[in-house]
Chain A
Amino acid sequence: MLAFIARRLLQSILVMLTVGFIAFSLFNFVGDPVALMLPPEATQADRDEVRKSLGLDKPFYTQFAVFVQNALQGNFGISLRLGRPVSQLLAERLPATLELVGVATLLALLVGIPAGIYTALKRDHWSSKLLLTGSLVGVSLPNFLIGIFLIVIFAVWLGVLPSFGRGNTTQLGFWSTGFLTVSGLKAVILPAVTLGFFPVTLIMRLVRSEMLEVLRTDYIKFARARGLSNQAVHFGHALKNTLVPVITITGLQLGGLIAFAIITETVFQWPGMGLLFIQAVQFADIPVMAAYLCLIGFIFVTINLIVDTLYYVVDPRLRMETSSAGGH
């Protein structure tokens, strides 16, 4: 157990170093790092000072070490476009993105799991076939188009929901939340549905195929033979056994959703990290790009690590395999 976690931790650190190295290369080789760190009106003395403090005269690996050290302390320099520390900008935008992703994930679970169960239990019914075909069409739609369609329907035609922004937010310490006001709650609906669209179809298909597989197993037949009611068999025995992969996939999707939120946030002008990032790409704002990359990398690696460890704890079969297979 400990050896497994240690090995995964080592792998995660390696991945993080790779991501850090890419961010570092962005920072140091693409564009002038001294100019990146300073506002344009800085004097020559300031420049020399920064050049020295960055250690640009030192060998390459020392520079990388310094970068890692700075990154660990959350110091990614100053945004070229906004002239403020990048870490401060990201911290301000983080709550908006996390709230959006959280609602989208909740939606994906609350809609995806029941829809998956329904399509598995009534697999030949026309409504299940409609749901499945519909989900295939949904996957073929570009995410931003779904967002635009929702805006057209609910903001332009019906006029019931806002088409952009986050509504009124409330400040709770460092966290600004949109959940405490009516306008904030209304504003999150359309972006969350847009972002949640893909995971809903994914979880629905996953639950369906897992359910179909479990329903064929001997212990389900045995449970039926014991005379248990359909309800007890379906929900007490079958569903429980489909939930492990669902939890894993949901966990792994969470990181993807945070990155995918870039598109949703652009469509709805949602003031999160993704919008910050896309503006950074448009304006060649390297420090923000580098920091965002590191942050996303960190979130991904952490989620992967947690999911892997949980999986290992939950599924005893893995413990047998890892001794021979050496990771995956």
Chain B
Amino acid sequence: MTDSLRRFFDSDIWHKFKRDPLVITAVVVGLILILSSAFAPLFAPHSPFDLKTLNLSDAFTPPAWIHEGKSQFMLGTDDQGRDVLSTIMYGSRASLVVGFAAVLLSMIVGITLGLISGYFGGALDAFIMRVADVQLSFPAILIALLISGVARVVIPNSQHDQVAIYVLIFAIAASGWVQYARTVRGSTLVERNKEYVQAARVIGRRPLAIMFSHVLPNVLGPVMVLATLHIGTAIITEATLSYLGVGMPATQPTLGTMIRIGGDFLLSGEWWILWFPGTALVILVLSINIIGDWLRDAINPKLR
């Protein structure tokens, strides 16, 4: 363990990282946001899910530094009297869970299909790639919308709120697997003919073992870059779906849900309900994208 740590601190990537203030800032800001939402129950001043502590007479309290603000609601409250700061912490938790889970799921599906497609080739490859082509010609958001729309019909109304998070994860994952499949397939096609794969084949390892324990580690680099950038996209997609009213219900707010609620009160002057979750979303996505962009350049051998 210490050995691999030392190797990491000796690596190119670490040295590049130390010299890039932008990406260091992005990592620090991203970590602060992720940790404060992961430990929201410890840090958040209020619990937006505890109905006992909610008081409708607190609704629409402006941020603390404004004349009518109250000191216990630093960023004000929303229409139901929920503390905006706490709801942002809990809300970005839900956004992050959906984002990470969706990326993980589409990675697993995409990598598996890409490996199969690239390693075996033939009719299976042609079929998987045609499906990918058809899907790629539609924007991801439309596919995610359709899936959540169908889920709304299939799942009885009473269970909508409980399964909403799983539907969201599935919808976002289903719209994102193609990129992984294509990337992995391309690299697999190259790796398949290399000597180490042929050697493994000669000593009689099974195709599945070759694919996952020999080929996969060698195609993982570009996949990690894709995944980092995909987390940002997935969080945006989640926010968009929730904003459009087909994502998470208002009782389990995510950043997108909060923005939708805030949008209703924008014209009447209660700007903080929308403004703070919006800013949190932008900062979160921006820091993830900066890290992803940097990672892409850092591990690209052409730019060394």
Of the stretches B12-20, B139-147, B188-196, B199-207, the one at the interface is B139-147
Of the stretches B46-54, B55-63, B241-249, the one at the interface is B241-249
* Chain B contact surface mostly: helix
A282 and B282 in contact (CB under 8 A), knowing A30-B154, A144-B259?
no
A304 and B137 in contact (CB under 8 A), knowing A145-B259, A282-B246?
yes
Q: How far is the CA of A301 from the CA of B148 in the complex (A)?
A: 24
Q: Which of B137, B232, B278, B286 has the most CB of A within 10 A?
A: B137
**Smallest beta-carbon distance A197→chain B, Å:** 14
Q: How far is the CA of A26 from the CA of B278 in the complex (A)?
A: 35
The number of residues on chain B lying at the interface, defined by a beta carbon within 8 Å of a beta carbon of chain A, is 35
One of B149, B244, B278, B289 near A148 (C-beta < 8 A):
B278
A246 interface hit (Cβ, 8 Å)? no
Asked if B150 and A278 make an inter-chain contact with CB atoms under 8 angstroms apart, the answer reads no
A278 and B246 in contact (CB under 8 A), knowing A259-B139, A259-B141?
yes
In the complex, chain B residues whose CB is within 8 Å of the CB of A300: 137-138
A289 and B244 in contact (CB under 8 A), knowing A142-B236, A281-B152?
no
Contact mask for chain A residues 146-161; partner B; CB cutoff 8 A; 1 contact, 0 none: 0010011001100000
Of the stretches B3-11, B75-83, B100-108, B263-271, the one at the interface is B263-271
B42 interface hit (Cβ, 8 Å)? no
One of B134, B145, B232 near A278 (C-beta < 8 A):
B145
Asked if B240 and A143 make an inter-chain contact with CB atoms under 8 angstroms apart, the answer reads yes
**Smallest beta-carbon distance A314→chain B, Å:** 21
B285 interface hit (Cβ, 8 Å)? yes
Q: How far is the CA of A143 from the CA of B233 in the complex (A)?
A: 12
Asked if A263 and B240 make an inter-chain contact with CB atoms under 8 angstroms apart, the answer reads yes
Q: Which residues of A contact B (CB under 8 A)?
A: 15, 18-19, 26, 30-31, 136-137, 139-145, 148, 151-152, 155-156, 163, 255-256, 259-260, 262-263, 266-267, 277-278, 280-282, 284, 286, 289, 293, 296-297, 300-301, 304
Give 5 CB contacts A-B under 8 Å.
Answer: A15-B134, A140-B285, A260-B141, A277-B145, A282-B245
Q: Which residues of B contact A (CB under 8 A)?
A: 134, 137-139, 141-142, 145-146, 148-150, 152-154, 232, 236, 239-240, 243-246, 259, 263, 266-267, 271, 274, 278, 281-282, 285-286, 289, 293
| In the A-B complex, the 5 residue pairs with the closest CB atoms | A281-B149, A284-B153, A259-B142, A140-B286, A142-B236
